[in-house]
């Protein structure tokens, strides 16, 4: 084959290949254009969908606003219809009003959030009661018990302990301040983490308690005795601030001193109410009655010493002094309370924790006596009294006018 023929065939083949490439390129270009068009359409569709969603959301928001406005209008109309006697939220003198959905606000059923939280945290063993001016007081609910249940041998008699009898009528519980009294403004209150009210005499302390309103009073000697005897029957004596902000033997048990000093040492070592460990409560729990032992002596009602003779309230409704009865029992010397004679002591004297009933029912504490004139009782001991402080500690050295930084008091409430 000649060279010219070969060249001619090569040119023809190249031309065919070029045409084939061009055809293939056109196919690919057509497909690319189609894909681009589809992408553009998809993007346009997405934009349209987003616009539709935005419009729908805006419409829904508008509908919600209109619905809320309608509901508010309905609620307002309902309140008008009821003549203003009903409201959606709790208010004094009003009755519950259901909203447009037929629901009554839960605030109607839990009006007192503080009380509800305290009762929930304590399992109902502590509650919150209010003074005449609305100041809150944390009160321990102390249930009634029978004497034969804590002294099965009959050493204390039988029936309800007299702390749960008021003017001859039984009570299912007494409400005792969970904390030594402190001040909120001009009112005595029972609150944690407060400086106990001290430097106060007997009459001023009781007047502060009674000023809180009907049912309020100062803790009585019978209240104190019932709690102490219950502790002994349950095999538990609380500790307390008996060594300048700490316990005198368990020195790791400390509380916050009101003067800011460290535990131990000197100073006015009152501790903030309830700032000690649970071991300083009557039942060893945070829901118990705190600081009965040590810290400050506590004035109590329903008992006095007149020229060495013990006068007592026959029940917890007869704690005013004109109602006290002569027990015929005398106290004359200072000694550890548990070793004091019970000879000649009536059941009431023993039930009132003035004389020991049995060794098992004899708490720690010292008896202090001045057997001349009128002497008013304080109980529990002081921050510096070590083993002389305790549930049985009874100070009858002073008259009703005594006031010092070492004397305080505790609230008691009885439902009227």
pLDDT of residue 404: 87
pLDDT of residue 224: 98
> Rounded to whole angstroms, how far apart are CA atoms 61 and 142?
56
pLDDT of residue 69: 56
pLDDT of residue 87: 81
* Residue 26 CB-half CA count within 13 A: 6
pLDDT of residue 27: 47
pTM comes to 0.75
Q: Which helix (H) or strand (E) holds 170?
A: strand 169-170
**Coil, strand, or helix at residue 397?**
coil
Residue pair 318/302 in contact by the 8 Å Cβ criterion: yes
Cα-based torsion angle of the residue sequence 107, 108, 110, 111 in order, rounded to the nearest 10 degrees: 90
pLDDT of residue 79: 52
67-90 as b/e: b if 16+ CB within 10 A:
eeeeeeeebeeebeeeeeeebbee
- Please spell the DSSP secondary structure of 306-364, one letter per residue: ETTEEEE-SSTT--SGGG-EEEEEE----EEGGGS--TT--HHHHHTTSS-S-GGG--S
Q: What is the pLDDT along the chain (416 residues), one digit of tens a residue?
A: 454 544 445 444 444 544 543 544 454 455 545 545 545 554 555 555 455 545 545 555 555 555 555 455 545 544 555 566 788 777 777 778 778 777 777 666 656 899 999 999 999 999 999 999 999 999 999 999 999 999 999 999 999 999 999 999 999 999 999 999 999 999 999 999 999 999 999 999 999 999 999 999 999 999 999 999 999 999 999 999 999 999 999 999 999 999 999 999 889 999 999 999 999 999 999 999 999 999 999 999 999 999 999 999 999 999 999 999 999 999 987 788 888 888 999 999 999 999 999 999 999 999 999 989 999 999 999 999 999 999 999 999 999 999 988 999 999 999 87
Token pair for 283: 């039942």
Classify the C-alpha dihedral 87-90-96-102 as positive or negative. positive
Token pair for 278: 């649970």
> Rounded to whole angstroms, how far apart are CA atoms 34 and 39?
9
Pairing of strands 335-336, 366-369: antiparallel
CB neighbours (10 Å) of residue 10? 10
pLDDT of residue 285: 97
């Amino acid at each position: 084959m000649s060279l010219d023929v070969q060249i001619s065939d090569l040119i023809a083949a190249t031309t065919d290949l070029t045409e084939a490439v061009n055809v293939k390129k056109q196919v690919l270009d057509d497909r690319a254009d189609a894909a681009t068009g589809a992408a553009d359409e998809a993007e346009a569709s997405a934009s349209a969908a987003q616009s539709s969603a935005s419009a729908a959301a805006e419409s829904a928001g508008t509908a919600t606003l209109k619905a809320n406005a309608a509901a508010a209008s309905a609620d307002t109309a309902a309140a008008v219809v009821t003549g203003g006697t009903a409201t959606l939220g709790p208010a004094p003198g009003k009755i519950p009003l259901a909203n447009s959905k037929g629901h009554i606000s839960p605030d109607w059923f839990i009006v007192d959030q503080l009380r509800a939280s305290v009762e929930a945290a304590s399992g109902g063993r502590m509650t919150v009661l209010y003074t005449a001016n609305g100041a809150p007081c944390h009160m321990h609910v102390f249930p009634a018990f029978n004497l034969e249940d804590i002294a099965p041998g009959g050493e204390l008699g039988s029936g309800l302990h007299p702390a749960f009898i008021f003017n001859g009528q039984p009570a299912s519980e007494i409400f005792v301040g969970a904390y030594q009294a402190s001040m909120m403004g001009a009112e005595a209150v029972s609150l944690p983490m407060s400086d106990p009210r001290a430097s106060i005499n007997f009459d001023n302390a009781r007047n502060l308690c009674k000023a809180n309103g009907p049912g309020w009073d100062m803790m009585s000697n019978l209240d104190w005795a019932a709690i102490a005897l219950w502790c002994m029957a349950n095999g538990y004596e609380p500790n307390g601030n008996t060594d300048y902000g700490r316990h005198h033997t368990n020195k790791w048990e400390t509380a916050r001193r009101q003067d800011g000093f460290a535990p131990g040492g000197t100073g006015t070592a009152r501790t903030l109410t309830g700032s000690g460990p649970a071991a300083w409560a009557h039942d060893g729990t945070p829901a118990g009655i705190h600081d009965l032992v040590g810290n400050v002596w506590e004035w109590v009602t329903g008992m006095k010493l007149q020229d060495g003779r013990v006068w007592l309230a026959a029940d917890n409704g007869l704690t005013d002094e004109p109602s006290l009865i002569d027990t015929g029992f005398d106290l004359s010397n200072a000694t550890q309370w548990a070793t004091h004679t019970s000879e000649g002591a009536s059941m009431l004297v023993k039930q009132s924790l003035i004389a020991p009933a049995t060794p098992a029912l004899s708490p720690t504490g010292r008896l202090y006596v001045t057997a001349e004139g009128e002497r008013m009782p304080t109980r529990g001991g002081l921050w510096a009294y070590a083993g002389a402080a305790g549930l049985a500690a009874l100070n009858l050295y002073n008259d009703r006018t005594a006031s010092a930084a070492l004397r305080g008091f505790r609230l008691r409430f009885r439902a009227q």
